[in-house]
Chain A
Amino acid sequence: MENVLLYLLVFTLKVAAIITLALGGTTFMIWVERKGAARIQNRSGPLYVGPWGLFQPIADGIKLFLKEDIFPTCADKVLFFIAPLICFAPSLMTFAVIPVGPHVQIADINIGIIYILAISSLGIFGIVMGGWSSNNKYSLLGGLRSAAQMISYEITLGLSVVGVVVFAGSLSLNDIVMAQAGSWFLGIPKWFVIPQILGFALFLVSMFAETNRLPFDLPEAEHELVGGYFTEYSSIQWGLFMMGEYVAMISISCVMVTLFLGGWLPLPWIGPLVEGLLPAGFVLYVMPVVWFLSKVAFFMFLFVWVRWTIPRLRYDQLMALGWKVLIPLALLNVIIAGVLKTFQIV
């Protein structure tokens, strides 16, 4: 009995830790985004709430909670209410299988990567339902665009993962990380980004499309669609849509790092150098998380960097890029991975 209780306690703590990491990261990311935007576009950004405006996202959150929920008169009330929840929940659920460190993972299931693809394909329901239930033409157009866009880029995303699965020979995220241990020569790490550079590039592009971020934020293109699918939303329901986007960014960056950049493994030459100076327990339990988070932080910065420097694509350009360029390249990448693996070239 005590064992069951202990197990439950450890499990709950793990879940709490990882959710805190995700939501805390979200709050921090909103600040980073606004500061980054300010720096890149020569503006001010948050300054007054807390040191360097650090508490601004918290103040915004409180404001959103206290505002009135407004339901449009002709909206479908039930769907309008649950749409933001459906949008938010799947992006949080992907964290369940991501190995943040060798001992920090909520569940190691043997089909981890398929679980992630399956769960992240559900967030789109929230967007589509929100767009339709608002009973507003701009919302509906935003919802339709997002449905078309996310289905198109999901294919590329799925196919670019195939290469990694071929190399690792497993669908479990833990096995994929462990398959990237070691180095080739000159201290170049055995990360899958090197044999799978094309897959990496494809994943990177479709990752922006899947999270509805610029240059692919057509579902919420404010010049054409007011606010897109969340035009009619206000207060914390709008907040859930926005937080869902940030949580999705963090989770897909974590997947990216796990698949292509060796997860929680350090660089082969920096790792021993730094870890030699630290106590053993620290190296075993804390350092992997530090390596993992620093790689994730790079991609989070990339999201901000790209958003404020690259303009939005036109809708037909987006579809042409997805179907005529990325999907053929993704198929080519599967063939490359197969050839490299079969003839043992790398």
Chain B
Amino acid sequence: MGLPEIFFYYFAIMAVVTAGFAVTRPNPVYSVLFLVACFFHVAGLFVLLGAEFLAALQILVQAGALMVLYLFVVFLFNLSEAKTARIVHRQAGFAGIVSLILVALMVIFSVQGVFRGPFRELVRPQTTDNVSYVAGALFTDFLLPFELASLVLLVVLFGAIVLGKREEGE
């Protein structure tokens, strides 16, 4: 087992473990922080695959910006109430079924050998650098999904403004 494999197993196992902690901690502040740790380990996996641009964006956008917003919201909760909230509630059954299907699919794919192959095979073609490859893909093959995603974000933004806006005399 070479060095990349050791790192791969470290990042993969830690990503799963921290994700597990993120959903099971009763205190939402710890949940958010474990989720940040999870993002870091996923970013580590990206680096191992040679996608350092994605890794940096993962940390910049997910860990750096989004999670701070989450923390912001969590702080405004009534924490004493959140601590006594039940972790298992009505959605548990449905969520369990969906997760089981996902796990089953992953096992089936693994057995069929979809994920098999030498370690660094998922990487981009070596001719271009990371950034131009991502940009090229985004602005040619995936232009429509990219624009649609930005439209969805814009709609969400409008929604937030409408909800947050105060009426006259309120």
Contact = CB atoms under 8 A, between A and B. Distances in A.
Interface stretch (A54-62, A140-148, A244-252): A140-148
Interface stretch (B10-18, B62-70, B114-122): B62-70
B48 interface: no
Contacts of B52: 109-111
A151 B69 contact: yes
Interface of A: 76, 79, 109-111, 114-115, 117-119, 121-122, 124-125, 128-129, 132, 140, 143-144, 147-148, 150-151, 154, 171
Contacts of A128: 68, 71-72, 75
Contacts of B137: none
A150 B69 CA distance: 11
A118 B68 contact: no
B22 interface: no
B59 interface: yes
Nearest to B63: A122
A118 B56 contact: yes
Contacts of A109: 52
Interface in B25-75: 29, 33, 36, 52-53, 56-57, 59-60, 63-65, 67-69, 71-72, 75
A151 B69 CA distance: 8
A122 B68 CA distance: 9
B29 A132 contact: yes
5 contacts: A110-B52, A111-B130, A119-B59, A132-B29, A140-B75
B131 A151 contact: no
A121 B65 contact: yes
B147 interface: no
B53 A144 contact: no
B57 A144 contact: no
A111 B50 CA distance: 12
Contacts of A118: 56-57, 59-60, 63-64
Interface string B60-101: 100111011101100100000000000000000000000000
A132 B28 CA distance: 12
Contacts of A148: 72
B5 interface: no
Given A111-B131, A122-B64, A144 B72 contact: yes
If over half of B's interface residues share one DSSP class (helix, strand or loop), that class is named, otherwise mixed; here it is: helix
Given A111-B53, A114-B56, A118-B56, A125 B68 contact: yes
A79 B29 contact: yes
Contacts, number: 67
Nearest to A110: B129
Contacts of B56: 111, 114-115, 118
B60 A121 contact: yes
A114 to B, nearest CB: 4
Nearest to B27: A76
B29 A143 contact: no
Contacts of B130: 110-111
A144 B75 CA distance: 8
A147 B72 contact: yes
Given A110-B131, A118-B57, A129-B33, 17 more contacts: A110-B130, A111-B53, A111-B130, A114-B56, A117-B64, A118-B60, A118-B63, A121-B64, A122-B64, A125-B71, A128-B75, A132-B29, A143-B75, A144-B72, A151-B68, A154-B64, A171-B131
A147 B63 contact: no
A110 B29 CA distance: 35
Contacts of B69: 147, 151
Among B63, B68, B71, B130, chain A packs the most CB atoms within 10 A around the CB of B68
A206 to B, nearest CB: 14
Contacts of A154: 64-65
A151 to B, nearest CB: 6
B71 A147 contact: yes
Contacts of B53: 111, 114
Contacts of B71: 125, 128, 132, 147
B62 to A, nearest CB: 10
Nearest to A171: B131
Contacts of A122: 59, 63-64
A140 B72 CA distance: 10
A111 B75 CA distance: 33
A123 to B, nearest CB: 10
Interface in B128-142: 129-131
A145 to B, nearest CB: 10
A141 to B, nearest CB: 10
Contacts of A125: 33, 36, 67-68, 71
A126 to B, nearest CB: 11
Contacts of A144: 72, 75
